[in-house]
Chains A and B, each alone.
Chain A
Amino acid sequence: MNTIFKSSKLDEMQEIQMLKIEHYGLWLAFWGLLVITIVQASMKAPFQQYAAEGFLLCVLAVFELAASLKYGLWDRTGKPSLWLNLLAAFAAAAITGGSTFAEQRYWPGALFSGVFSFLLTFGILKFFASLYRKRRAKLDHVEEDPISNEEDDSHD
C-alpha cells in the first residue's frame, strides 16, 4: 500500500479530489449493482444471468464492512442503535414479506419470510454493532507514546 502512495504524482489536494472521485465511483457501482441485481431477480431472470453482479455486490459489501470495522467506523451520520437496527430489520421484513406475498399470494409464507428476514437482519446488525463497539473501545484506549520519543519526531 505504501509503495502505491509513494509513487503517487498527486499532491495532497489532488489526492483528496481523487479519493472523492473514487468514493463516488464506488457507491455508484454499489447501488448500481444492487439495482441491476434486484431488477433482474424481479424479472425472473435465471440466476446465472446475474450471479456475477450479485457476487461482486457481495464482495463490495464485505470489503466495506471489514474495512469500516477495522478502523472502528460505522456511519457518518450516527452510531448503531437499537431503534435503527429495528427499523432496518423491519424494512428488510417488509421488503421480503411483501415481495413474497406479491409473488406467491400465500400469506403464511410471506409472514414466515418477513419474520425470518426481520430476525436475520436484526441479528446480523446486532452482531456487527457489538463488533464495532469493541473495536471502537480498543482504538480509543491505545496507550500514548512517551513524551521523550515525540521530541525526536519534531524534525522534518
Chain B
Amino acid sequence: MAKNLRLKAARAEKDMTQGDLAEAVGVSRQTIHAIEKGEYNPTIRLCRAICRVLGKTLDELFWEEEETEQ
C-alpha cells in the first residue's frame, strides 16, 4: 500500500500533529501513523471521521488512481 501523503499534507494544513488528529477522531496516534505510512487500510467510518476533522472529501484524501493502487 502506498504512503498517504495527501493525508499528511491535509493534517499539516490544519497545523495538527498526528496526536491531535488521533485524538480528534478517537483513535491512537499509532493508527494515524500507520495510515499515513500506508501500513493500515482504515475502515470507511474512520476515513469519514478523518475527512470531517480535516475538512476534506473522501476523494481528496483516500482516492487512488488505478495505476497507484497495489
Instruction: Report A's interface with B, CB cutoff 8 A.
Output: 11-14, 156
Query: Number of A-B pairs whose CB atoms are under 8 Å?
Result: 21
Quick one: closest A residue to B22, CB to CB?
Answer: A11
Q: Mark B14-52, 1 if CB is under 8 A from A, else 0.
A: 000000000000111011001000001011011010000
Please tell me if the beta carbons of B40 and A11 are within 8 angstroms of each other in the complex. Answer: no
Please tell me if the beta carbons of A13 and B40 are within 8 angstroms of each other in the complex. Answer: yes
Q: Report, as a range, how many residues of chain B touch the other chain.
A: 10 to 19
Interchain CA distance A12-B48 in the complex, whole Å: 14
Please tell me if the beta carbons of B26 and A13 are within 8 angstroms of each other in the complex. Answer: no
Contact partners of B27 in chain A: CB under 8 A:
11-13
Please tell me if the beta carbons of B26 and A11 are within 8 angstroms of each other in the complex. Answer: yes
Q: Whole-angstrom distance from the CB of A33 to the nearest CB of chain B?
A: 33
Contact partners of B40 in chain A: CB under 8 A:
13
Q: What are 11 A-B contacts defined by CB distance under 8 Å?
A: A11-B26, A11-B28, A11-B31, A12-B43, A12-B45, A13-B27, A13-B31, A13-B42, A14-B30, A14-B31, A156-B48
Q: Whole-angstrom distance from the CB of A113 to the nearest CB of chain B?
A: 50
